[in-house]
Structure 1
Amino acid sequence: MPAADEHGFDAFVAARTAALARTAYLLTGDTHLAEDLVQTALFQAARHWGRIHGDPEPYVRRILYTQNVSWWRARRLREQPLSSYDAPATDRGDSDLRLTLQDALRRLTVRQRTVLVLRYFEDLTEVQTAEVLGIGAGTVKSIGRQALARLRALAPELADLVGDAS
């Protein structure tokens, strides 16, 4: 990688790693997997850095999303450990709510969780979400509707976050 490209990549990594790590954690639900996912996405982006024109963030985020789905498919065929380390709660009052939401999100499909993360955490529109995932906007709406309905069924105590079905 030429020195100018290397400097641009280093600046991107320094500025955006924390945001990428938050998204990766929401996608995986596991701190260690999230770190691995970010590292893999940045490694792949570094290999192709000279060919990325414009804002590199959408390119790197797409790697995060697609790599997570690939890993999930591979993991579901292997045994899972009984527990994993999760980020500690920072506010005792919110810890129950956070754990309930975390548990409910883990029980969604990868596609459902990814759509919710993109729509409500990343604040992307349905069209932007569709572009990132390479699917139609109608599919994003359908998956999002299904995911919210499933969250309502799995954790009725999250009604304030998820909203009414009407």
Structure 2
Amino acid sequence: MKVDEERRYVEYVAARLPWIRKVAFLLCQDWHRADDIAQAAITRLYLHWRRADGADSLDAYVRTMVVRVFLSERRSGWASRVDLRAEPQDRPGPADDDPAMRLAVRRALAEVPPRQRAALVLRYYCDLSVEDAAEALGCSTGTVKSQTARGLEALRRALDAHQVGIEG
């Protein structure tokens, strides 16, 4: 990699790493795994920097990498057999937020199946169109729509279960 290319790579990663970690966290619901996913994505980004730097939207390119790292990790046998997460480290948000609701949504989102969770994060957190989410996930627009609908239903069920647990 040339010096000016490496400088642009370092500048991009330094500026966007918090965002990359946040997207990874929303996908996997664990800060330690989010760091691993972010590290794998920025490593892949380094390897493919020339192509990524020429993309129409570098953020979209990286977001797709993060989603694909997350989904490929979920396909491995190790990820399905081993769960190293401790209880989530829940921290309240800003004072104007409802911390209890934020925690309930985070817990409920963790119960949504991974592909549905990825569709929800891309559509509602990253604010992608159906077409852009389909490109990031490597699937059809119809699949994104169905995964989003199923994900929302799973999220609603999980939120209802948490509300019963909170109130009951």
Q: Distance in 2 between matches of 1:139 and 1:82?
A: 30
Partner of 2:92 in structure 1?
Answer: 89
Q: Distance in 2 between matches of 1:78 and 1:140?
A: 27
Unpaired stretches in structure 1, ≥5 consecutive residues: 160-166
Out of 139, 145, 148, the position equivalent to 1:144 is 148
Asked whether the 8 Å contact 1:31–1:87 carries over to 2, the reply is no
Q: Distance in 1 between matches of 2:122 and 2:83?
A: 26
How many residues of Structure 1 are paired with residues of Structure 2 in the alignment? 159
Q: Considering only aligned residues, what root-mean-square deviation do their CA atoms show, in Å?
A: 2.2
Q: Distance in 2 between matches of 1:42 and 1:82?
A: 23
Deviation at 1:79, TM superposition (A): 2.6
Deviation at 1:50, TM superposition (A): 2.0
| Letter of the structure 2 residue corresponding to residue 21 of structure 1 | R
Partner of 1:163 in structure 2?
Answer: none
Partner of 1:24 in structure 2?
Answer: 24
Q: Report 1:1-166 matches (<5 A).
A: 1-52=1-52, 53-54=54-55, 55-74=57-76, 75-81=78-84, 83-86=86-89, 88-91=91-94, 94-156=98-160
The alignment partner of 2:80 has SS state of coil
Q: Distance in 1 between matches of 2:110 and 2:154?
A: 11
Deviations 1:120-149 (CA, angstroms, capped at 9, x unpaired): 000001111111111111111111111111
Using structure 2 for the length normalisation, give the TM-score: 0.84
Asked whether the 8 Å contact 1:116–1:147 carries over to 2, the reply is yes
Deviation at 1:158, TM superposition (A): 8.8
Using structure 1 for the length normalisation, give the TM-score: 0.85
Deviations 1:22-61 (CA, angstroms, capped at 9, x unpaired): 1111011111111111111011110111232133222221
Taking only the aligned residue pairs, the percentage that are identical comes to 32
